Amino acid sequence: MELVLDGDVVRGDSDARERFYDSRGYGRVEAGGLVLAPVEAAHLLSRGDVDVVRDARSGDALDFRALVSSAAVSEIDVLVYKDLRDRGFYLSPAREGWVDDPVGADFVVYPRGQGPWDDAVAYRIRAISERTAVSAATLGDGVLAVVDEESAITYLETSHPEIGGSTTTDLPSDVAADLLGDRVLVWEPPDALYQQGFYGQPLDDETGEPLQLSLVEAAALAHQGVLDVDGGAAAIVECGREVEGERFDRRLAVYRDLRDRGVVPKTGYKFGADFRTYADVESVDSLGHSELLVRVLPANHAFTPRDLALDVRLAHGVRKRMVFALVADADDADGPRIEWLEVGRLTP
């Protein structure tokens, strides 16, 4: 069978429509015939279902090699299309007029057993090379299919999670504390801080004294009037900024937002993240498993897929969810804007 490349579509007759659209969900119907995206035609060529695609302009007969090497189709799309077909899915290129809401997607994948005749959508897929940076702001609604250097494909599901917990603590006020270089020490800590609120870490496990607070913990507490430190919260923030710059403001904004949501953030250092979080802390003696790993990023961050893969794999390995806090205007008087983005592994 022969098809015709006509601008940015590939056309076939009613026989082609019966064979490829009606029974296997390729392309769309136009005037009784078949219209394919070039990536679909490439797939049919690679399978031997179509012998050749004739270029209407040049008259050239294109085989799989020629079509894939041409500008008509991206090899990334060809690889992802093939992988999803191999997994038993029907899917459509996300073209205007072909699918609802094509913006931001390359393919719309139908549930297994369904096709373009049905209304249901299983996944909206964006196909990228591992070498392409991805703006964080464009994620949160769909699946990223990342083609690595060796053409293996990993799927990452992205969403905007609701973050919340049930932790509440009645905190004392004006507790004396010393700001050292990198932390704050509370020499006579009230129980509410560590025992109930899970703030800080005792230097001496037996006596519980002194209590060491991280700079973000201490800055948040000083803002609330809980701590009495020379220079107040401003001195702690200053100390944080000295090493971390604006990153400290972002981390502090996220820390405070999580606490406001009833979630306890603790350092995520051992997992290479900013925080690990506990949603429901009643007492440090009955801590559960921490649920989230949180990485704090500026809102305009662009991920390299490799870094995403690293975070998601590590989180999965320790049975936590990987969440990114995207912070805009951390130092705005009205408060920062934080957008939450979750990324997880998906096996379609």
60: Cβ contacts below 8 Å, ≥ 6 apart: 54, 66
Q: Is there binding between residue 135 and a second copy (CB under 8 A)?
A: no
Rg (Cα) of the chain, in Å, rounded? 27
Write down the catalytic residue from 110, 123, 155, 278. Answer: 278
Residue 297 amino acid letter: L
Q: Is there binding between residue 266 and a second copy (CB under 8 A)?
A: yes
Tell me the DSSP string of 187-252. SS--HIIIIIT--SEESSTTT--SEEEEHHHHHHHHHTT-EE-TTHHHHHHHHHHHHHTHHHHHHH
Q: Which helix or strand (DSSP H or E) is residue 108 part of?
A: strand 107-109
Structure tokens at 348: 């379609």
Q: Is there binding between residue 185 and a second copy (CB under 8 A)?
A: yes
Write down the catalytic residue from 43, 266, 301, 320. Answer: 320
Binding to a second copy (CB under 8 A) within 288-307 occurs at 305-307
Q: Is there binding between residue 178 and a second copy (CB under 8 A)?
A: yes
Q: What are phi and psi of 330, to 5 degrees?
A: -60, -30
What is the C-alpha to C-alpha distance for residues 304 and 299, in angstroms, rounded to an integer? 15
Q: Is there binding between residue 48 and a second copy (CB under 8 A)?
A: no
Annotation says 316 is catalytic: no
Provide the minimum distance between the beta carbon of 120 and a second copy in the complex, in angstroms, as a whole number. Answer: 30
How are strands ordered across the β-sheet holding 201-202? 178-179, 183-186, 211-214, 201-202
Binding residue (CB under 8 A) for a second copy from 51, 60, 65, 111: 65
Q: Is there binding between residue 14 and a second copy (CB under 8 A)?
A: no
Q: Could you tell me which of 180, 170, 86, 148 has the C-alpha nearest to residue 309?
A: 148
Choice between 12 and 240, CB closer to a second copy:
240
Check the CA dihedral 65-69-74-79 and report its sign.
positive
Binding residue (CB under 8 A) for a second copy from 61, 180, 234, 302: 180
Annotation says 223 is catalytic: no
Choice between 191 and 307, CB closer to a second copy:
307
Query: What is the x/- site pattern for a second copy, positions 189-228, by CB under 8 A?
Result: -----------xx-xx-----x-x-xxx------------
Q: Is there binding between residue 246 and a second copy (CB under 8 A)?
A: no
Q: Could you tell me which of 295, 330, 300, 298 has the C-alpha nearest to residue 314?
A: 295
Residue with tokens 């919340």: 164
Count residues near a second copy (CB under 8 A).
Answer: 56
Provide the minimum distance between the beta carbon of 266 and a second copy in the complex, in angstroms, as a whole number. Answer: 6
Q: Is there binding between residue 75 and a second copy (CB under 8 A)?
A: yes
Binding residue (CB under 8 A) for a second copy from 118, 243, 245, 288: 243
- 338: which strand partners? 327
What is the C-alpha to C-alpha distance for residues 256 and 243, in angstroms, rounded to an integer? 20
Q: Is there binding between residue 311 and a second copy (CB under 8 A)?
A: yes
Annotation says 320 is catalytic: yes
- Catalogue the active-site residues: 278, 289, 320
Q: Write out the residues near a second copy by the rule CB under 8 A.
A: 46, 65, 68-69, 74-76, 79, 82, 129-132, 146-152, 154, 178, 180-183, 185, 187, 200-201, 203-204, 210, 212, 214-216, 243-244, 266-267, 269-273, 305-307, 309-311, 313-314, 317-318
